[in-house]
Amino acid sequence: MAVHDTEENGRTKLTRQCLYSLIPLIDRYQHRVFIIDNGSCSATKMLLSEVGQLIGFDVLTNDENIGTAAAINLAWRLRRPGENAIKMDNDVVFRQNSDYWIKQMEEAIARDPRIGIVGLKRKDCIETPWNENPFYRSELYLLPHQPGERWIVGEKVNHVMGTCQMYSSALLDKIGYLWQPRLYGFDDVIAAARCHAAGFINVFLPHIEIDHIDPGGTDYQKWKERHAGEDFVNALTIRDQIERGERPYYYNPYEA
């Protein structure tokens, strides 16, 4: 989780809600949790220290905001062989324990190795099998199943929104690390295209409930939208180039 909270943007309260929803859900003996602090305010630093003692996560600290993708990459450098990796935002609240949502994400990847990115679906996402726009038209399917296993319905989509995603180890071995044009925006869109280009699929698990708690409409949100919007055409061009095989899907900023 990358965190950039300032006194001006007032996001410490969102980070607090998110982290406290995780406290009863995370098994520190099974899951490694990394918070990447992108130059946050003192209130968030105190919060991370406080909650870190309860969950047992590691904090990687940057003196300034280096952006979402670059921050997440710092944690993914510590990924172990064969380890899937979750990328999540700090403005989401979870309703089920990790035995439910983390294990089902892991199980989905284990059952269907074609899955590169599996995500939890926000309630404001518009992907449906009946959407008239082909980009947002999805396909429901039953994941491979053996007698005695629970049935899991997956939703194949073009793009898994980046609020809470798990990237399979096989995908990360093939595509490397996250990339985005600027500090915010399009890292998930471009990752979805890279996933397709590498021969994998993107899937939601729509039955797992999460709540996006950022109310929007803030000056900070408007700034992020303008900031990302300046690269809108460029980002979609890059996405299309990757999908067509005209641009490499592999990215590793740590290679010489």
For residue 110, being part of any structural domain is answered with yes
Domain of residue 132, residue span: 2-243
For residue 255, being part of any structural domain is answered with no
Question: What's the mean pLDDT in 26-52?
Answer: 89
- pLDDT tens, 117-175? 999 999 999 999 999 999 999 999 999 999 999 899 999 999 999 999 999 999 999 99
Q: Among 184, 191, 188, which Cα is nearest to 228's? A: 184
CATH number, residue 8: 3.90.550.10
Question: What's the mean pLDDT in 214-234?
Answer: 84
For residue 251, being part of any structural domain is answered with no
Confidence of residue 99 (pLDDT cuts 50, 70, 90): low
Q: State the Cα angle at 94 between 84 and 59, rounded to 5°.
A: 55
Q: What is the sign of the dihedral through the CA atoms of 99, 100, 103 and 107? A: positive
For residue 37, being part of any structural domain is answered with yes
- pLDDT tens, 168-207? 999 999 999 999 988 888 999 999 999 999 999 999 999 9
pLDDT on residue 97: 62
pLDDT on residue 256: 67
Q: What average pLDDT does the chain have?
A: 92
Q: Among 177, 164, 173, 167, which Cα is nearest to 71's? A: 177
pLDDT on residue 69: 96
Q: How many domains does the chain have?
A: 1
Q: Among 164, 162, 167, 156, which Cα is nearest to 134's? A: 156
pLDDT on residue 101: 87
